[in-house]
Amino acid sequence: MSTLEAQRTIPFFNYSHFFESQEAELTVIFKEVGCRGAFILQKDNREFEKHLAEYTGAKYAIGVANGTDALIIALRAAGIGAGDEVIFCSHTYVATAASIHFAGATPIAADCGPDHMIDSDSVRQKITAKTKAIMPTQLNGRTADMDALQAIADEYNLIIIEDAAQGLGSKFKGKMAGTFGLAGTISFYPAKTLGCLGDGGAILTNDEEMYHKMNLLRDHGRDEKGEIVAWGLNSRLDNLQAAFLDAQLKRFPKVVKRRRQMADLYQRLLSDISSLTLPPAPDMDTRYFDAYQNYELEADNRDALRDFLKQNGIGTLIQWGGKAVHQIEQLGVRASLPVTEAVFKRCMMVPFNTSLSDEDITYVCGKIREFYDA
């Protein structure tokens, strides 16, 4: 082993990279917005909303405070509340279920399939007379099979609200995540593919009535004239964050392209290791266009592999602290979900932030191979 290799450290997150790599541009934006005193719902926010709608192909986009509020606002605008059940995939962040809970409805956990996305057969089994909506998570930068979910929604007259917090830039049959359902939500948390310098989120919709309701809900129920016409919350996207995001959005297609290259490299370097199950490769199924928010694989002897990688300076992570939502006892979302439970014994994410070079990824893959060869 060369000295250089021994010294390599590859952290899972690299939060300062975004700022450091674009410090000059971000500083100009900060000064410019600051000097205008444009902090709440100003032109930067409107422009970002317009550009986000254009990018995703949604009719409307609304900036909100974070991805969790986005879900709560979408559910409430859709009229979902007490007595209703909403089916979600248990392999998701707690925020998906929490938003259903805080909208006043009951979260019902469904299983995932081999690609870790919501399993439509499981959804079907969870439907009751109280079911009002399906809330698929567009996980790891992949859009679920929306044809299968739409067929169920049509059959049972259900609403679809997409948790596309991790889905921005991904497509199913050419259509972007977040634009299938009555509404779809995005998160700009710094670890997401389009991250800001703090918290941020957005809601997409093609429905004019939803758009108006959600606009009111995010800003104290105030209409365009500033008059209060309904109950509302305070959940606005900071204008400064919107300005940062608008600048980032211009480069976002390049980010997606790079992430797909990185996935392709991992795929090529790891696909012959029989102890691993890799996520779908970029060109495996042409219906899917994945943006690879994460590279979540499954590994035999996972915990020992993670230890070995850690000793070699490589950071890994198990999503959601290692538990699917129905496995968090205190929340009381009980279910028996065999695929999700099997996945959580083996799943882990390898470094996948855009500060990584091809050499970094080659190093990570070399160490994984070393572990299984030993």
Ligand X SMILES: *Cc1c(COP(=O)(O)O)cnc(C)c1O
Return the residue of 73, 103, 112, 165 that touches ligand X, per CB under 6 A.
165
Closest separation between CB of residue 179 and ligand X, Å?
Answer: 17
Return the residue of 115, 163, 238, 246 that touches ligand X, per CB under 6 A.
163
String marking each residue 334-373 x if it binds ligand X according to CB under 6 A = ----------------------------------------
Phi-psi region for residue 226, left (φ > 0), alpha (ψ -120 to 50) or beta? Answer: left
H/E stretch holding 254: helix 239-270
Q: What are phi and psi of 202, to 5 degrees?
A: -150, 160
Closest separation between CB of residue 71 and ligand X, Å?
Answer: 7
Render 209-246 in DSSP notation, one character per residue.
HHHHHHHHHHBTTB-TTS-B-S---B-PPBHHHHHHHH
Q: Are 34 and 43 in contact (CB under 8 A)?
A: no
Closest separation between CB of residue 321 and ligand X, Å?
Answer: 13
Structure tokens, 182: 């009555």
Q: Are 44 and 242 in contact (CB under 8 A)?
A: yes
Q: Is 140 in the site for ligand X (CB under 6 A)?
A: no
Return the residue of 48, 93, 292, 344 that touches ligand X, per CB under 6 A.
93
Q: Is 279 in the site for ligand X (CB under 6 A)?
A: no
Return the residue of 136, 169, 195, 201 that touches ligand X, per CB under 6 A.
201
What span, in angstroms and rounded, lies between the C-alpha atoms of 250 and 194? Answer: 11
Q: Are 62 and 232 in contact (CB under 8 A)?
A: no
Closest separation between CB of residue 166 and ligand X, Å?
Answer: 4
Q: Is 169 in the site for ligand X (CB under 6 A)?
A: no
Q: Which is nearer to ligand X, 38 or 98 (CB)?
A: 98
Q: Which stretch binds ligand X (CB under 6 A): 16-24, 88-96, 222-230, 325-333?
A: 88-96
Q: Is 166 in the site for ligand X (CB under 6 A)?
A: yes
